[in-house]
């Protein structure tokens, strides 16, 4: 089992996103079209037209599942969930618990979707993927853009009234997501995928400086951008959820646990217990994915039993209401 990518439509396992100093450099995603409510982009919001491919393990894909759930778009946007563990041809569909086969294209491997969209595709085969059944192509494979489309362009179809990108807070939400991306969301990967001591230490130091910062922010307000849940919280949540079970040990992000930060920990429990978020969380897929797929980090593929974490324990965030 090795991480792979496509080069001109051919699968190769010579995966390498590190520079000479051992730093992990994430390659930008390639499909960046936009669905709009009025259709001016060529992709009009509609019910039944779009289909989402995700992994329950992946923090980026998890963001999109949460938005689909919070907005109540379950019957509007179709869903397939890949097997937790990567195969030697990347993500694949299975019928293991939690997984959902590909009902839109009936493929076996996610790479087939990328090749349908672009037979000469070069790049990684990542989730999330938002597929357009009408144009038979990938609209977008960048989580941050997908959550925004679900949030702002599907209001005609949403069955729950919630706005996680309110006009008055947009600049603040964008700045917050930008600010946490490198040190936190990507920071855990920069730490875990580093291949030099210097690159690792730089990433981990920045990560914990940033967690310390958000800990103080959450001492004074309920959510990252004030007292209202926004897209920024969804982006932070999916990283925090995986932290103590995976990033702390597998990615060596072990200066502190999230459970050691009173505000971050209570904030994490509050979000986990949200009735539309909890059903999207699957710690079994999360743990098996990282420990069994990233064999360059964990060659034995043994999945640790612990730690025991009680996400259901009472939280104290009501103090802000
Ligand atoms: N920038 C992308 C990142 C997506 C991403 O890296 N997904 C990972 C899983 S966490 C993936 O699919 N990796 C499989 C691979 O690279 O082979 C986003 O935010 O959507």
Both tokens assigned to 248: 């702390």
The domain boundary, picked from 126, 152, 178, lies at 152
Cα 127 to ligand 1 centre (Å): 5
Going by CA atoms, what residue is nearest to atom 11 of ligand 1?
Answer: 126
**What DSSP character marks residue 260?**
G
Q: Do residue 145 and residue 172 come from a single domain? A: no
Instruction: For residue 53, give the H/E element and its range.
Output: strand 50-54
68 lines ligand 1 (CB under 6 A): no
Say how far apart CA 91 and CA 111 lie, in whole Å. Answer: 7
Say how far apart CA 101 and CA 104 lie, in whole Å. Answer: 9
Question: 65 and 56 in contact (C-beta within 8 Å)?
Answer: yes
Q: Do residue 180 and residue 103 come from a single domain? A: no
Say how far apart CA 25 and CA 11 lie, in whole Å. Answer: 20
Both tokens assigned to 224: 């990252």
192 lines ligand 1 (CB under 6 A): no
How many domains would you assign to the chain? 2
Say how far apart CA 239 and CA 187 lie, in whole Å. Answer: 10
Q: Do residue 216 and residue 87 come from a single domain? A: no
Does 161 fall in a domain?
no
Which pLDDT score is estimated for 1? 54
Say how far apart CA 84 and CA 94 lie, in whole Å. Answer: 9
Both tokens assigned to 261: 């930060």
Cα–Cα nearest to 174, from 247, 224, 128, 100: 224
Which pLDDT score is estimated for 311? 98
Does 260 fall in a domain?
yes
Does 162 fall in a domain?
no
- Matching residue, tokens 């060529």: 42
Q: Do residue 185 and residue 228 come from a single domain? A: yes
Q: Do residue 146 and residue 259 come from a single domain? A: no
3-state SS assignment for residue 14: coil
Does 121 fall in a domain?
yes
Cα–Cα nearest to 93, from 79, 107, 104, 105: 107
Q: Do residue 235 and residue 212 come from a single domain? A: yes
Length of the chain: 321
Does 301 fall in a domain?
no
Q: Do residue 172 and residue 148 come from a single domain? A: no
Q: Do residue 125 and residue 192 come from a single domain? A: no
What is the signed CA dihedral for 304, 306, 312, 313, rounded to 10 degrees? Answer: -160
Does 288 fall in a domain?
no
- State which ligand 1 atom lies nearest to the alpha carbon of 146: 20
Q: Do residue 128 and residue 221 come from a single domain? A: no
Q: What CATH number has the domain bearing residue 104?
A: 3.40.30.10
State the residue range of the domain holding 46: 5-152
Q: What CATH number has the domain bearing residue 237?
A: 1.20.1050.10
- Per the annotation, the verdict on 281 as an active-site residue is no
Cα–Cα nearest to 53, from 99, 96, 95, 7: 99
Going by CA atoms, what residue is nearest to atom 19 of ligand 1?
Answer: 143
Which pLDDT score is estimated for 321? 80
Q: Do residue 98 and residue 196 come from a single domain? A: no
DSSP3 helix / strand / coil % (the chain, rounded to 5): 40, 10, 50
Say how far apart CA 97 and CA 65 lie, in whole Å. Answer: 17
Low-confidence residues of the chain, pLDDT below 50?
none
Does 289 fall in a domain?
no
- State which ligand 1 atom lies nearest to the alpha carbon of 5: 17
In this prediction the pTM is 0.97
Say how far apart CA 179 and CA 189 lie, in whole Å. Answer: 16
Which pLDDT score is estimated for 169? 98
Q: Do residue 176 and residue 276 come from a single domain? A: yes
**Helical ranges in 52-180 per DSSP H:** 59-71, 110-117, 143-152, 170-180
Q: Do residue 79 and residue 107 come from a single domain? A: yes
Does 295 fall in a domain?
no
Q: Which of 50, 51, 53, 58 is catalytic?
A: 58
- Sign of torsion, CA 93 65 283 128? positive
The domain boundary, picked from 152, 175, 190, lies at 152
Say how far apart CA 283 and CA 58 lie, in whole Å. Answer: 11
- Residues forming beta bridges with residue 213, ordered by sequence position: none
Which pLDDT score is estimated for 2? 60
């Amino acid at each position: 089992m090795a991480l792979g990518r496509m080069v001109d439509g051919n699968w190769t396992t010579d995966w390498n996103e590190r520079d000479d100093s051992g730093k992990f450099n994430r390659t930008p995603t390639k499909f960046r079209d936009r669905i709009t409510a009025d259709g001016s982009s060529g992709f009009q919001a509609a019910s039944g037209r779009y289909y989402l491919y995700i992994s329950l393990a992946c923090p980026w894909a998890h963001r999109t599942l949460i938005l689909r759930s919070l907005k109540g778009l379950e019957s509007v946007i179709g869903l397939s969930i890949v097997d937790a563990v990567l195969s030697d041809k990347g993500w694949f569909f299975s019928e293991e618990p939690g997984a959902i086969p590909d009902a839109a294209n009936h493929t076996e491997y996610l790479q087939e979707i990328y090749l349908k969209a672009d037979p000469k595709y070069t790049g990684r085969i990542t989730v999330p993927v938002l597929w357009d059944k009408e144009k038979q192509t990938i609209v977008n494979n960048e989580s941050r853009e997908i959550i925004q489309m679900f949030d702002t362009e599907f209001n005609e179809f949403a069955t729950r009234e919630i706005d996680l990108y309110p006009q008055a807070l947009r600049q603040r939400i964008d700045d917050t997501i930008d600010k946490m991306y490198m040190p936190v969301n990507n920071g855990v990967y920069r730490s875990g995928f580093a291949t030099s001591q210097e690159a690792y230490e730089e990433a981990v130091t920045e990560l914990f400086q940033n967690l310390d910062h958000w800990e103080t922010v959450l001492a004074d307000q309920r959510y990252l951008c004030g007292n209202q849940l926004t897209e920024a919280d969804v982006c932070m949540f999916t990283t925090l959820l995986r932290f103590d079970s995976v990033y702390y040990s597998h990615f060596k992000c072990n200066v502190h646990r999230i459970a050691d930060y009173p505000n971050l920990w209570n904030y994490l429990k509050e979000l986990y217990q949200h009735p539309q978020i909890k059903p999207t969380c699957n710690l079994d897929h999360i743990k098996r994915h990282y420990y069994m797929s990233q064999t360059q980090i964990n060659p034995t593929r043994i999945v640790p039993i612990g730690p025991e974490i009680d996400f259901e324990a009472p939280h104290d965030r009501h103090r802000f209401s």
